[in-house]
Chains A and B, each alone.
Chain A
Amino acid sequence: MSDTLLNANPVVYDVGLVSNRARRPEDEDENVADPFDAEEIFDLIRHINDPEHPLTLEQLNVTQPQLVSVDNDRNHVLVQFTPTIPHCSMATLIGLCIRVRLLRSLPDRFKVDIKVSDGSHQSEHAVNKQLNDKERVAAALENSHLLEVVNQCLATAVER
């Protein structure tokens, strides 16, 4: 990581610490199938630490609940995220952190697509292509240095 921050002075958003998702009676009922909703997915990724700042992806507005969508019937999750600046070289690392977090947390049945939100990055196509190529992801996760960086970013997400 370079000594000069890519975005030295990011806008920080005020966020709550606890889930915004209200508990529902069916959450406690063992006999009811419990589909995932977007808020639950968001709760898994909102506290991931930014690779550059001691702030969470939610505090930097990189992740937002409305950019998460879940299709339980088709076992599909789409997470979009918005890098703080359009030339952010950390975009693939942030996307990889989100992917690893969901890989470790969601049931096997889900297929996950991770993308930068429309128009939010100058290399949008290249970033999206890399984040969704399983061979590239598998090779990246065999890189012990990179995995360590990912795990550091995820530490704050797992604690909560």
Chain B
Amino acid sequence: MSTQPTLQLVAELTGHTDRVWAVSWHPTLPLFASCSGDKSVRLWKLDGGNGTWNCVSVLDDAHKRTIRSCAFSPDGRLLATASFDATTIVWERDEDSGEWENLATLEGHENEVKSVAWSQSGSLLATCSRDKSIWIWEVVGDSDFECLSVLQEHDQDVKMIKWHPNEEVLASASYDDSIRIWREDDDDWYCSDTLKEHKSTVWAVDFNKAGDMLASVSDDRSLKIWATRPPKNSALGYRQNPTYHCVATLTEHHSRTIYSVAWSKVNNLIATTGADNCVRIVAQQAAADASGGYTYAVCATLTAPHGYNDINSAEWCPLEKDGHGALLATAGDDGVVRVWRLI
């Protein structure tokens, strides 16, 4: 008989002095970064000896305002941080001292940078802002970043961006209630798909492991699942791409705004968090049937794991070994980061 999974508290990490906006896992180590309204980033690492999580670094001398988002590069060597101070900083770990140092400061956005993400190859970085634009940066040499393209088709703030796990395809979520998919063709970045089904701000998106599906969450309190369909006129050849179609909607999935969604690349479960203080875990119930229909349902809920506070972010650990893929880190308005294990 199968039983419903539960989330067990592994660690409660204090140190931030303001709300924690986001967490980002290291790609190869049991380590993650958290960023906060206190203008700092903290790095938390598992001590393999006694199993405790400890703060191993504080990066607090660079950004002048809230740090909204952070992301490790795919090789784990660099950390990018996006701030309301309109800059994105790329940090590099000095192998000798172990200290993280400011490698480059990316300027160009007119105001708050809200999200930063590395492409799977690590050669591209994307940032987005309240100025409605998305910037694609190319890593040139060891420490230079060159802006390749500025994408300005959203009508309002771009809240969040996420790269496809295997291809150079970018998804963006916006205050204009839409999701856009961006692709490159002969050095030209263009919008290949606009997904307009949410009824309010789309706060976050995440791809599944294969990248052929997408999950999105919104101020309209719903979770939507999208799946690709092959292009209709592939014979034409010009910019014919798969398109994303909504295949499932969980309405009133949270009772207030949903802020984050994370689709595990290890266990295929989807974690969502929101202003209703809850964490919900969603599982696919059955494979796609002949009609293309999918069923998704909540299989676990944490009610108020950060007390009365909004939960701004939850991220699954990407490591498959040692059962680390069952770890989920959550960040809340209480300034606390918590690590959970799905059992």
Q: Are A133 and B275 in touch, CB under 8 angstroms?
A: no
Q: Main SS of the interface on chain B? A: loop
Known: A111-B275, A129-B201, A142-B65. A135 touches B114 (CB 8 A): yes
A142/B308 contact (C-beta < 8 A), A111-B275, A133-B201, A134-B275 known: no
Closest to B312 in A: A134
The answer to the question of A139 belonging to the interface, with a C-beta cut-off of 8 Å to chain B, is yes
Q: How large is the interface on B (under 10, 10 to 19, 20 to 34, 35 or more residues)?
A: 20 to 34
Chain A residues lying within 8 Å of B19, measured Cβ to Cβ, are 138
Closest to A125 in B: B200
Instruction: Name the B residues within 8 Å of A109 (CB-CB).
Output: 308
Q: Which residue of A108, A129, A133, A139 contacts B309 across the interface (Cβ within 8 Å)?
A: A108
The total of interchain contacts (Cβ-Cβ below 8 angstroms) comes to 36
The answer to whether B310 has its CB under 8 Å from any CB of chain A is: yes
Q: Judging by beta carbons under 8 Å apart, are A134 and B309 in contact?
A: no
> Once bound together, how far apart are the Cα atoms of A136 and B159, in whole Å?
10
**Is B30 part of the binding interface, using a Cβ–Cβ cutoff of 8 Å?**
no
Within the assembled complex, what's the spacing in Å between the Cα atoms of A133 and B202? 11
Shortest beta-carbon distance from A66 to chain B in Å:
24
Taking the complex as formed, is B108 at the interface, i.e. its CB lies under 8 A from any CB of chain A? no
B66 near A139: Cβ-Cβ < 8 Å:
yes
Task: Give per-residue flags for B46-89: 1 if the beta carbon is below 8 A from chain A beta carbons, else 0.
Answer: 00000000000000000001101000000000000000100000
Is B159 in contact with A135, judged by CB distance below 8 angstroms? yes
Is A89 an interface residue when CB atoms closer than 8 A count as contact? Answer: no
What is B's interface to A at a CB cutoff of 8 Å? 19, 37, 65-66, 68, 84, 111-112, 114, 130, 157, 159, 175, 200-201, 219, 256-257, 275, 307-310
A and B contact pairs by CB, cutoff 8 A, 10 listed? A108-B308, A133-B201, A134-B257, A134-B310, A135-B114, A136-B130, A138-B19, A138-B66, A139-B111, A142-B66
